């Protein structure tokens, strides 16, 4: 690890001012310290935000929930209101990492976690995300875990997280405080970026921006499912995951929200697929069409070709489960 | 250099160390508590698990200076050779280890995991998120997946935890 200066933030303004001046926030540290040990990241200064007042989950005026940026993944998944009204979020969080990591991982840090691309982690290799302009070793290398949707010639990495996939299906908003103390809200759907020509930029945060909370809209009716496929039964990142919230009206689909993990540089969503399903009666043909549309532009890079048929099957199986009437969620 | 006070197994320690020192290295190299083990140093194996403010965490992925004033329990604080905790006795009774390298982490992790289940925390394999969280073999395996054992003593680890959790409930 490269030497760094360490400071504890005492207030939001203190934290954002230091971050605007080239310091990096540390929350749980479970992603940042991992990368700092390998010198993939080498910040000159760390601002510890753990003493800020961001550890509460509270009700919003419209009946939604405000999850403070420092709420741990464990506390979020175990919160009674989230278990009851947003089970897809509890399930997605519980599908990620391990008990120990979830006790440290925070809501803000989890959103900002970086890709697990092997070459990003290996400083001996070219990588446009780590070192812009150096090339992308994954393109023709080992790319089993890489993107099949929305990738660019510069980078085919995936956003590896689970929590944000559920938040995408839930239409959550990220609350951000900037260095002048202004607060803005950005839909989780727009928080992460596609790699384009600038894969070094994972998300829309600007220097000094502090995530203060994630806001969930009022609970929606319907069945909520989080399905994750990975190389082992637990403690592994998603090769493909699907978050689904489906409401039936008799035997037709009244509303659908879908989000996908492990497929792209961001939690993937496709409103055209949701629109195709709404108002229809569930059938194998309909689900097949939805998968065709989702994957129309999918592209494999060799070792990740399997993700195309895999995603198709996972989506169809989730839709089947979600549209079954009668059974409990 | 950062000055940090760590309250380890009930005893306060003053630490003067570089900001880069992880909690794991502070415990082992600065305080001489070598029960906590370093496996991967990257959050992937669980050998370094300790209990901080009541919660199990990977001590390799956190800095000592981030824990000023925190209460930390290591394997040395859970039991001693002639005064084993129920879980430690169960590990002996069930042969829950071979080389023993992962064992301190397994025991710290399971000690806190039993409390999590008692508090009703669900897991990825819980059918009902609203519990109660019964520690079946499947639940134990899922909740302990952050602790790897290269000797693959898993079946006996699960047996030991099931027994200790049952005795305590
Ligand atoms: C072995 C292993 C397995 C894992 N498996 C999974 C998995 O299966 N699924 C999954 O989803 N995750 C997994 N993870 C990743 C884990 O979820 C993340 O490491 C964790 O969520 C990051 O949160 P943190 O608070 O520790 O972040 P930190 O490491 O503290 O920070 C991460 C980044 O976020 C920034 N940041 C933190 N808080 C804020 C804020 N409030 N505002 C602005 N920026 C901020 C930091 O500056 C840093 O750049 C795994 C991790 C490990 C080590
Ligand atoms: S896929 Fe992206 S992160 Fe991986 S090597 Fe290529 S540029 Fe780097
Ligand atoms: S040494 Fe900390 S998890 Fe492996
Ligand atoms: S007993 Fe050897 S690693 Fe677990």
Domain count within chain B: 2
Rounded Cα distance, B111 and B88, in Å? 10
| Boundary residue ending a domain (B45, B78, B111) | B78
Q: State whether B115 and B164 are in the same domain.
A: yes
Q: What DSSP designation does A73 have?
A: H
Q: What predicted TM-score, i.e. pTM, was given to this entire model?
A: 0.98
Rounded Cα distance, A321 and A227, in Å? 11
Per residue, the 3-state secondary structure of chain B, as one string, reads CEEEEEEECCEEEEEEECCCCEHHHHHHHHCCCCCCCCCCCCCCCCCCEEEECCEEEEHHHCEHHHHCCCEEECHHHHCECCECCHHHHHHHHCCCCCCCCCHHHHHHHHHHHHHHHHCCCCCCCCCCCCCCCCCCHHHHHHHCCCCCCCCCCHHHHHHHHHHHHHHHC
CATH of the domain at B141: 1.10.150.120
pLDDT score at B42: 98
Strand A5-8 and strand A45-48: pairing? parallel
Q: State whether B68 and B90 are in the same domain.
A: no
Q: Contact B145/A77, CB-based, under 8 Å?
A: no
Q: State whether B61 and B108 are in the same domain.
A: no
Q: State whether B65 and B108 are in the same domain.
A: no
- DSSP 3-state of A36: helix
Give the Cβ contact number of residue B144 at 10 Å.
23
Is B122 touching A (CB cutoff 8 A)? Answer: yes
| Boundary residue ending a domain (B78, B95, B128) | B78
Interface of B with A in 53-72 (CB under 8 A): 55-58, 61-63, 65-66
* Total H helices, total E strands in chain A: 13, 11
| Boundary residue ending a domain (B23, B54, B78) | B78
- Give A255: exposed, middle or buried? Use CB within 10 Å, 0-12, 13-18, 19+: middle
Q: State whether B49 and B92 are in the same domain.
A: no
Q: Are B129 and A91 in contact (CB under 8 A)?
A: yes
Q: State whether B65 and B114 are in the same domain.
A: no
| Closest ligand 2 atom to Cα of A154 | 7
| Closest ligand 4 atom to Cα of B98 | 1
Q: Contact B57/A100, CB-based, under 8 Å?
A: yes
pLDDT score at B133: 87
Q: What DSSP designation does B146 have?
A: T
Q: State whether B28 and B58 are in the same domain.
A: yes
Is A26 touching B (CB cutoff 8 A)? Answer: yes
Closest chain B C-alpha to A227 CA, distance in angstroms: 11
Rounded Cα distance, B151 and B169, in Å? 29
Q: What DSSP designation does B61 have?
A: G
Q: State whether B25 and B51 are in the same domain.
A: yes
Instruction: Give the Å distance between the CA of A40 and the centre of ligand 2.
Output: 13
How many angstroms separate the first and last alpha carbons of chain B?
45
| Closest ligand 2 atom to Cα of A119 | 5
Tell me what ipTM this predicted complex has. Answer: 0.98
Q: State whether B58 and B93 are in the same domain.
A: no
Q: State whether B21 and B56 are in the same domain.
A: yes
Q: Nearest-CA neighbor of A107 among A161, A34, A41?
A: A161
CATH of the domain at B29: 3.10.20.30
Contacts of B41 in chain A (CB under 8 A): 37
Contacts of A10 in chain B (CB under 8 A): none
List the domain range (segments joined by +) for residue B116.
86-168
Query: What parts of chain A have a pLDDT lower than 70?
Result: 326-329
Q: State whether B67 and B92 are in the same domain.
A: no
Closest chain A C-alpha to B55 CA, distance in angstroms: 7
- DSSP 3-state of A191: helix
Q: Per residue of chain B (169 residues), what is the pLDDT tens digit? A: 999 999 999 999 999 999 999 999 999 999 999 999 999 999 999 999 999 999 999 999 999 999 999 999 999 999 999 999 999 999 999 999 999 999 999 999 999 999 999 999 999 999 999 988 899 999 999 999 999 999 999 999 999 999 999 986 5
Q: State whether B92 and B163 are in the same domain.
A: yes
Top residue of B1, B56, B67, B72 to mutate, by most chain A CBs within 10 Å, is: B56
From the CB of B158, is ligand 4 less than 6 Å away?
no
Contacts of B143 in chain A (CB under 8 A): 99
Nearest to B43 among A26, A46, A101 (CB): A101
């Amino acid at each position: 690890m490269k030497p760094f200066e360490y400071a504890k933030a005492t207030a939001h303004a203190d934290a954002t001012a230091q971050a605007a001046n080239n310091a990096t926030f540390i929350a749980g540290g479970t992603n940042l310290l991992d990368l700092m040990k390998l010198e993939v990241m080498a910040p000159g200064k760390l601002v510890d935000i753990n003493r800020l007042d961001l550890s509460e989950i509270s009700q919003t005026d419209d009946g939604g929930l405000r999850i403070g940026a420092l709420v741990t993944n464990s506390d979020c998944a175990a919160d009674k209101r989230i278990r009851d009204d947003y089970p897809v979020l509890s399930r997605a969080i519980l599908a990620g990492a391990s008990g120990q990591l979830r006790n440290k991982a925070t809501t803000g840090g989890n959103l900002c976690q970086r890709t697990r691309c092997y070459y990003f982690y290996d400083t001996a290799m070219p990588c446009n995300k780590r070192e812009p302009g150096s090339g992308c070793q994954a393109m023709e290398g080992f790319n089993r875990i890489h993107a099949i949707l929305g990738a660019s010639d510069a980078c085919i990495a995936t956003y590896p997280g689970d929590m944000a996939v559920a938040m995408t299906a839930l239409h959550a908003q990220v609350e951000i405080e900037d260095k002048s103390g202004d607060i803005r809200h950005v839909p989780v759907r727009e928080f992460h970026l596609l790699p384009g020509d600038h894969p070094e930029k994972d998300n829309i945060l600007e220097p000094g921006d502090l995530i203060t909370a994630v806001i969930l809209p009022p609970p929606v009716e319907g069945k909520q499912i989080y399905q994750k496929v990975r190389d082992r039964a637990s403690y592994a990142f998603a090769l493909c995951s699907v978050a689904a919230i489906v409401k039936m009206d008799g035997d037709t689909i009244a509303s659908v929200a879908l989000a996908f993990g492990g497929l792209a540089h961001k939690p993937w969503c496709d409103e055209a697929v949701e629109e195709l399903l709404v108002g229809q009666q569930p059938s194998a043909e309909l689900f097949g069409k939805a998968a065709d549309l989702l994957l129309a532009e999918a592209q494999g890079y060799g070792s990740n070709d399997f993700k195309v048929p895999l995603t198709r099957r996972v989506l169809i199986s989730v839709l089947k489960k979600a549209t079954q009437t009668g059974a409990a969620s | 250099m950062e000055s940090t006070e760590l309250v380890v197994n009930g005893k306060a320690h003053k630490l003067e160390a570089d900001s880069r020192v992880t909690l794991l290295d502070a415990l082992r190299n600065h305080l001489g508590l070598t029960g906590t083990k370093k496996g991967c140093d990257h959050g992937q194996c669980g050998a370094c698990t300790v209990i901080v403010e009541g919660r199990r965490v990977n001590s390799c992925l956190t800095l000592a200076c981030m824990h000023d004033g925190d209460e930390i329990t290591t394997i040395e604080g859970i039991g001693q050779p002639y005064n084993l905790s129920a879980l430690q006795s169960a590990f002996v009774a069930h042969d829950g280890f071979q080389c023993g390298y992962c064992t301190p982490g397994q025991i710290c992790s399971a000690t806190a995991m039993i409390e999590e289940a008692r508090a009703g925390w669900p897991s990825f394999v819980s059918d009902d998120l609203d519990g109660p969280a019964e520690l079946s073999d499947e639940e134990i395996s899922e909740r302990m997946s952050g602790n790897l054992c290269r000797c693959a003593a898993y079946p006996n680890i699960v047996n030991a935890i099931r027994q200790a959790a049952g005795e305590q409930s």
